[in-house]
Structure 1
Amino acid sequence: MEQANANLPVTYRNKVPEVTLVFWIIKMMSTTVGETAADFLNVNLHWGLTNTSLFIGALFFIALFIQVKSPKYVPVKYWTTVLLISVFGTLVTDNLTDHFGVPLILSTGVFTFLLVGFFAIWYRKERTLSIHSINTQRRELFYWTAILLTFSLGTAGGDWVSETLQLGFLNATLLFGFLITFCLIAYSFFKCNSVICFWIAYILTRPLGASLGDFLSQPVTSGGMNIGSTTINLCFLTIILVLVTYLHLAKKPASNDEI
């Protein structure tokens, strides 16, 4: 009996926070910081794309290791990992575009294919894609891999819409905001599948945050407000810090209900 139990996966409390308004605010702002922070290190500090990618990649994998080894959901660990994966996911797409000349429409299509295929594998292995059942280490690794793909896809799709299609940063922000609102309406009023609606909205928050970050930080001549990436990073990081501190002090456990 003991030998049979040894083969079972180690379970723990759900490692993903409850999906509330605070969750979406932090997620959206993390994506904005991911866009502006990558540009700040790469361009403003003249690190270059390669050095920036290596530095952020190292920080991300350290944060991910700490997050995965933790037996329970800890707001600081979780959101630090989200923040770093947002920057790293941005850099993955930026490297494909700038270093390898991959067109944004192609990278958008490839990441879409990879994400759909990965969801299929995840569901085949675990029989659920619910974020409220991330209670084994294997499911958590599935979860973070999917998150990385959503950030890379969101970066490619957002840049393709705002730059290649020349929709502009403000129009792109409004477009992705409308699509997220549509997901909310589909779930709330038409009872569409909650898991599908969640993941679509999660993907869309990446280009929403990226477009918003570009709109706020880019020069007026490029269609932005010219606030500057440094100011945007400081403001949004401060808000994220306040909200994560609130979550830590509230000590509200993650929900284990299926969605």
Structure 2
Amino acid sequence: MSSTTTTASPLRSDGSSGRTWSKVPQVTAAFWVVKVLTTGMGETTSDFFAHTLGPVPAVVGAAVVLAATLFVQARADRYRPVVYWAAVVMVSVFGTMAADVAHVALGVPYAVSAPAFALALAAIFALWRRTEGTLAVDTVRGGRREVYYWAAVMATFALGTAVGDLTAATLGWGYLPSGLLFAALIAVPALGHRVLRLPPVLAFWWAYVLTRPLGACFADWAGVSHQRGGLDLGTGPVSLVLAVVIAVAVGRLAVQAGRDARRTA
């Protein structure tokens, strides 16, 4: 599933006299796999540090690291796999904390925060569309579009966290059944794009939102106690395993990106 009807390429023309590089990856199967892995890692890592360090130090620390990774991403001249996915991981961690803090510290029910985050995401999309004319991610090459992109990504993580916890905890469906539900739901935009000609940008963002509760529910199921319906592997070990898998996957993507860059140089 791609966010554009054209074949993705790392090098894009911006309509000016020069050419600029895309700052986001091609939307391929590898993209979706790594994206789901980062959502799971964000969920368990957020829980691990919140319980180990305490909510306030964990949130402050995550905010600082997130700001640093986004700064490096903004300074990059093109898509750099290590830089980009490091930023996604930190957005995942901080987005999880944002939803959890609203629920735990402020007492906002997930049934309230989920629609609120959905409205925030809709507002970002509306402003992005009105000012830039498109929500296609392959047009993100820096500047204002990149700001909109990362704002939308942050909102999707917060929304997905609230929705996943709403089904798993508030409604009492449990983490594994919720994960299976979102696994089924994420196939809808893919099929809609292929069979019903669903607009690719709509299909992309629809699936993108669902990757968050999908990965988080399965990661929680692996990490939480038996009493909560999980495998009781622990949030720390689950986070570590996911971090290693993500590092290997991103390393392979970085090697491939280097080869592509040499071919187009």
Normalised by the size of structure 2, how large is the TM-score?
0.89
Residue 29 of structure 2 corresponds to residue 21 of structure 1: yes
Give 5+ residue unaligned stretches, structure 2.
1-15
Shift of 1:136: 3.3
Residue 42 of structure 2 corresponds to residue 34 of structure 1: yes
Residue 253 of structure 2 corresponds to residue 247 of structure 1: yes
Shift of 1:253: 5.2
Task: Assess if the C-alpha contact under 8 Å between 1:216 and 1:224 holds in 2.
Answer: yes
Using CA pairs under 8 Å that are at least 6 residues apart, name the structure with larger relative contact order, 1 or 2. 1
Give 5+ residue unaligned stretches, structure 1.
1-7, 255-259
Which of 69, 73, 84 is the aligned partner of 1:67? 73
C-alpha distance in structure 2 between counterparts of 1:219 and 1:139, whole Å:
42
Q: 1:151 to 1:87 in 2, by over 3 A?
A: same
Task: Assess if the C-alpha contact under 8 Å between 1:14 and 1:132 holds in 2.
Answer: yes
C-alpha distance in structure 2 between counterparts of 1:193 and 1:68, whole Å:
29
Task: Assess if the C-alpha contact under 8 Å between 1:17 and 1:253 holds in 2.
Answer: no
Q: Which residue of 1 aligns with 2:7?
A: none
C-alpha distance in structure 1 between counterparts of 2:245 and 2:29, whole Å:
14
**Secondary structure, aligned partner of 1:12:** strand
Q: Which residue of 2 aligns with 1:204?
A: 210
Matches within 5 A, 1:1-259: 12-43=20-51, 45=52, 47-251=53-257
Task: Assess if the C-alpha contact under 8 Å between 1:11 and 1:137 holds in 2.
Answer: no
Deviates more, 1:222-231 or 1:170-179: 222-231
Cα RMSD between the aligned structures? 1.5
Q: 1:59 to 1:102 in 2, by over 3 A?
A: same
Write the letter of the residue equivalent to 1:141. Answer: V
Shift of 1:190: 1.8
Shift of 1:69: 1.0
Q: Which residue of 1 aligns with 2:6?
A: none
Runs ≥4 residues deviating over 6 A: none
C-alpha distance in structure 1 between counterparts of 2:155 and 2:120, whole Å:
8
Write the letter of the residue equivalent to 1:216. Answer: A
What is the identity percentage for the equivalent residue pairs of Structure 1 and Structure 2? 36
Instruction: Give the total of aligned pairs.
Output: 244
Task: Assess if the C-alpha contact under 8 Å between 1:37 and 1:87 holds in 2.
Answer: yes
